[in-house]
């Protein structure tokens, strides 16, 4: 009956929508940002379009930045601390999750100066196992929920999914938006669902997965970013990692522009998580450059930027050792996942 209580609390939120006088006041109050779907639509349309050619040219230019020496060493450590070490397979086992948690806390056992990663990201049924291993360590437990990855379930099922993950000890919930509703123009439904999930999260942080590969256009990605932020997302996240097109540099650029503009209006910092297909240190550093030059260094922190990845961590560790010793190590010297 958990979900019934959550639906009730959502209804309370909806019925208490206020209409403060100025736009900034209204936007600053997270539960009362949008009174109707029409208002949501006009607000997002007012942002104007995104020019695909321009976005891709800008990200390609930023990708030519060259991080060397101390800035490279610092960036690698920062990237490690931003990793959501992820395993989202049907074949996941408690043992695999426990191993992953140990690696998350001590990524490079031979070098205790290596920072721990930000979080471990698992399916809801494995949250308890992760919680048990991580205990009170600073590494958070993140869980995908809301019928991940497709999101094709009723709101009640999604909320129950979230509630169970939170009850099992998840600190962060990675939800998926209803792409069907978004693409058919039912933005209000997408918004309401995020509001409901946010309420179900309680004190857990909410990351909203836009599944940008299914939204396709940058205009859609910007619109979905704003819907999620207005609905109370703590993070907006590119992808599930389960479709053909996952995180790309221009997509991240559009989302970072969105969080930057949102913070200017509301003074709230919404984080960005890029996920899927980021495997090399070189790629990770390109994302950090885009963060730095788009949203600013206030986002260069695990509280505001994350990499959803698995194999990326070992490449970061390899490059970290290379920076310190001048030589590459054999891949087998690092634990697999």
| Contacts with another protein, residue ranges (CB under 8 A) | 24, 48-51, 53-55, 57-58, 64-72, 75, 257, 263-265, 267, 269, 288, 292-298, 300
Dihedral of alpha carbons 72, 73, 74, 80, sign: positive
| Active-site annotation holder among 174, 178, 234, 283 | 174
Query: Whole-angstrom Cα distance, residue 162 to residue 193?
Result: 12
> Shortest gap between Cβ of 137 and another protein (angstroms)?
27
158 is catalytic: no
103 is catalytic: no
Question: Cis ω on the peptide bond leading into residue 121 (within 30° of 0)?
Answer: no
> Shortest gap between Cβ of 294 and another protein (angstroms)?
8
**Strands, E assignment, 238-304:** 271-275
| Active-site annotation holder among 198, 207, 237, 286 | 237
Kindly compute the dihedral angle of the four CA atoms of residues 226, 230, 235, 239, in this order, to the nearest 10 degrees: -40
Q: Which is nearer to another protein, 51 or 89 (CB)?
A: 51
Sequence-ordered alpha helix ranges (H) in 186-239? 187-201, 212-215, 218-230
Q: Which is nearer to another protein, 65 or 152 (CB)?
A: 65
273 is catalytic: yes
> What are the backbone dihedrals phi and psi of residue 26, each rounded to the nearest 5 degrees, phi first?
-65, -45
Q: Which is nearer to another protein, 26 or 131 (CB)?
A: 26
N- to C-terminal Cα distance for the chain? 37
> Shortest gap between Cβ of 38 and another protein (angstroms)?
20
Q: Which is nearer to another protein, 20 or 54 (CB)?
A: 54
Query: Whole-angstrom Cα distance, residue 152 to residue 148?
Result: 8
> Shortest gap between Cβ of 295 and another protein (angstroms)?
8
Query: Whole-angstrom Cα distance, residue 98 to residue 216?
Result: 36
Q: Which is nearer to another protein, 232 or 250 (CB)?
A: 250
> Shortest gap between Cβ of 289 and another protein (angstroms)?
8
Do the Cβ atoms of 235 and 207 come closer than 8 Å? yes
> Which residues does the annotation mark as catalytic?
174, 237, 273
């Amino acid at each position: 009956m958990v979900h019934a209580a959550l639906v009730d609390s959502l209804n309370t939120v909806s019925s208490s929508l206020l209409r403060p006088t100025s736009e900034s006041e209204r936007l600053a109050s997270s539960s009362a940002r949008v009174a109707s779907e029409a208002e949501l639509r006009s607000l997002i349309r007012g942002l104007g379009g995104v020019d695909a050619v321009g976005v891709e040219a800008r990200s390609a230019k930023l990708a030519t930045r060259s991080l060397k020496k101390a800035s490279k060493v610092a960036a690698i450590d920062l990237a490690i601390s931003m990793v959501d070490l992820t395993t989202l397979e049907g074949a996941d086992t408690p043992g695999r999750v426990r191993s992953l948690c140990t690696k998350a806390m001590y990524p490079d056992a031979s070098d205790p100066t290596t920072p721990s990663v930000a979080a471990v990201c698992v399916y809801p049924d494995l949250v308890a196992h992760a919680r048990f291993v991580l205990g009170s360590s600073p590494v958070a437990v993140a869980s995908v929920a809301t019928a991940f990855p497709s999101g094709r379930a009723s709101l009640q099922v999604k909320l129950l999914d979230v509630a169970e993950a939170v009850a099992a000890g998840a600190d962060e919930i990675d939800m998926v938006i209803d792409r069907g509703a978004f693409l058919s123009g039912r933005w209000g439904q997408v918004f309401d669902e995020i509001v409901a999930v946010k309420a179900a999260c309680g004190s857990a942080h909410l990351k909203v997965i836009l599944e940008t590969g299914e939204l396709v256009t940058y205009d859609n990605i910007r619109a979905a970013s704003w819907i999620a932020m207005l609905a109370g997302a703590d993070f907006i996240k590119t992808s599930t990692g389960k479709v053909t097109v996952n995180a790309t540099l221009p997509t991240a650029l559009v989302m970072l522009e969105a969080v930057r503009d949102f913070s200017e209006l509301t003074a709230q910092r919404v984080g960005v998580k890029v996920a899927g297909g980021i495997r090399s240190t070189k790629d990770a550093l390109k994302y950090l450059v885009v963060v730095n030059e788009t949203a600013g260094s206030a986002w260069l922190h695990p509280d505001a930027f994350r990499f959803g990845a698995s194999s990326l961590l070992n490449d970061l560790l390899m490059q970290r050792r290379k920076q310190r010793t001048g030589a590459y190590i054999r891949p087998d010297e690092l634990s697999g996942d």
